[in-house]
Amino acid sequence: MKFGKIILFSLAVTILISSTAIAEEVKVIRTLSTTEPAANSEFSVTLNVSGTNVAGIVESIPEGFSYIGTSHPETQTSQSKQKIFFSVIGETEITYRVKAPLSGGGAFTGTWYDPLDKTEGVIANTDVIVKSNYSSKSEAQPQEPESKSTPFLSTVAMIAIIGLSAYCLRDY
């Protein structure tokens, strides 16, 4: 009987270690083809998604900028005013096109939510300034997102291990 309890306890520890190792941090990184678009020009915005296969993303584009479209499936994309909603199902990259106003600027902002792991985070803001001269372009660098993680899987595994450990060690 003691041997069986040792095996159960070892199994519980293995589950705990593997559940925390499997959980990859979700990241959504936004990259613009330019942060200084020419007046009235179109440019692309790319979202690179890692650490999840299923997520919801809400992008907010600055006032005055217009959403043109995306190659992301139409059934997984919607728009309301300056907000664009993407349902991510297995994709690692989403690219959409935006048209700049005649002047001005602002920040692209966004959030993501992973319904499977119940985690959410903020996509780092990306500032843009409209240039009146077509020759002025600067490449945007990807920005690391801030993320707020709620370790659902690790919490469940920890509770299971504590319960299993208590059961295994109750005769000692």
Q: For residues 133 and 162, state if they share a domain.
A: no
DSSP string, 59-105: EEPPTT-EEEEESS-GGGEEEETTEEEEEEES-SEEEEEEE--SS-E
57 and 110 fall within a common domain: yes
Greater model confidence, 141 or 101: 101
Domain around 15:
1-23+151-172
* Shared-domain flag, residues 103 and 163: no
> 58 and 10 in contact (C-beta within 8 Å)?
no
Do residues 25 and 149 lie in contact, with contact meaning Cβ atoms separated by under 8 Å? yes
**CATH code (residue 70):** 2.60.40.740
Q: Is the pLDDT score of 5 beyond 90?
A: no
Q: In what order do the strands lie in the sheet with 93-99?
A: 27-32, 42-50, 93-99, 66-70
For 89-116, write each residue's pLDDT tens digit.
999 999 999 999 999 999 999 999 999 9
Let me know whether 68 and 17 are in one domain.
no
Q: Is a pLDDT exceeding 70 seen at residue 170?
A: no
* Amino acid 26: pLDDT: 93
d(CA 102, CA 39): 4
* pLDDT of 130: 98
Tokens matching residue 52: 């999840």
Rounded Cα distance, 50 and 38, in Å = 31
Higher pLDDT pick, 18 / 95? 95
Please report the pLDDT score of residue 142 as a whole number.
54
Pair 54, 95 in one domain: yes
pLDDT, greater one: 33 or 1: 33
Q: Look-up: residue for tokens 């009987």?
A: 1
Residues 160 and 142 in one domain: no
Burial class (CB in 10 A: 0-12, 13-18, 19+), 170: exposed
In the prediction, which pLDDT does 121 show?
96
Looking at the fold, whether 117 and 53 belong to one and the same domain comes out as yes
126 and 168 share one domain:
no
Same structural domain for residues 75 and 143?
A: yes
Reference 147, options 26, 19, 21; nearest CA is 26
Same domain for 60 and 79, yes or no, is yes
pLDDT at residue number 13:
47
Region 4-32 average pLDDT: 63
Residue 7 pLDDT > 60, yes or no? Answer: no
Domains in the chain: how many in total? Answer: 2
List % helix, strand, coil for the chain (3-state, nearest 5).
25, 40, 35
For residues 43 and 121, state if they share a domain: yes
- Are residue 103 and residue 144 in the same domain, yes or no? yes
